Amino acid sequence: MPGPLVAAFVGAVALAFVIPLMGPRAHVADPLGPREAAGAQGSTSAAATEPPLQPASAPPTVAPPVAWVDPGPDDVRNARAGRLARAPLPPSVLIGYVWPMPRSRLTQPFGETRFGGAVYQGKPFHDGLDLATFCGDRIVAAHAGTVLAVGRRFDAWIGWRGGLDRYQLRLTKKHLWNTLPIVVVIDDGNGYRSIYAHFARTTVKRGQVVKAGQLIGYEGASGHASGCHLHYGLFSPAETRSFDVDPKAVKKMLLPRRQTLRIDPLLVLPKRTDLDLD
């Protein structure tokens, strides 16, 4: 599997600072956005009460790759106390994570794969973990935190580098909101955000505080997924590096051109001896 830094969030679903083995940008073939097919799978009790659209923040300056500098004690204390550190902490110092589906199969790991929705150096790449058990299984919070988004209107919280007005207007005009996956985004309180995608149904609300291991919804296949599963991704909004979105997707869906780099969730989740990672 490639090094810990990342490319893009996989197709109909979509996170950080480690020594990069990849360049500052990668190309996304199918970012977390709609696939224009008839209908949408899954439903959510929050669908009728989703929060109003939120504008994305102005794109930060993208810095070139730099060598990792160990965080100081104040940074570590701030992150563990729920205060945003000055820069993303390396995954090695993050604590408190649990598996969002403890008994799941790892059906698609993070890294280079021909099934990836992202592309890096001409090769397909998957920027999170796909976990599966059975349709309707429980999904829990991987870390304690505060819910930022629930439902299909989640894009303002997943690290896009640029405005989303044109993209969201297109979804509204073409009645495409229901083609997006049902997603939960949680601020983990340590400078990182967890993204959970493809729910059949959710059980949390925006602004709710959750504990690690608390139920947040049920496994599904919303967003035209190939089957019931959970896509789990992890990123830091403080990360200054980004990847490039596939120009075809940018042109067709009116998406921003860049998105924040992700990390491999296996770097923070507890070790499991039952996973086949070869």
- Note the helical H segments in 12-164: 73-80
Judged against a pLDDT cut of 80, whether residue 96 lies above it is answered with yes
Contact status, residue 149 vs residue 51, Cβ threshold 8 Å? yes
Higher pLDDT, 104 or 125: 104
Higher pLDDT, 96 or 272: 96
Structure confidence at residue 122 (pLDDT): 59
Least confident of 38-47, 70-79, 218-227: 38-47
d(CA 243, CA 270): 27
Structure confidence at residue 41 (pLDDT): 40
Judged against a pLDDT cut of 80, whether residue 235 lies above it is answered with yes
CA angle centred on 227, ends 226 and 231, rounded to 5°: 90
Q: Where are the chain's structural domains?
A: 11-267
d(CA 171, CA 47): 15
The pLDDT of 79-94, averaged and rounded, is: 71
Higher pLDDT, 170 or 78: 170
Tokens of 106: 């790892």
The pLDDT of 130-134, averaged and rounded, is: 96
Higher pLDDT, 222 or 58: 222
Q: Global pTM?
A: 0.72
Least confident of 74-88, 163-177, 198-212, 243-257: 74-88
Which residues neighbour 233 within 8 Å (Cβ) at sequence distance 6 or greater?
A: 9, 13, 14, 15, 127, 128, 129, 194, 195, 197, 262, 265
Burial of 186 (0-12, 13-18, 19+ CB in 10 A): buried
Contact status, residue 89 vs residue 74, Cβ threshold 8 Å? no
What is the pLDDT of the chain when averaged over all its residues?
Answer: 74
Its CATH class, for the domain covering 11-267, is mainly beta
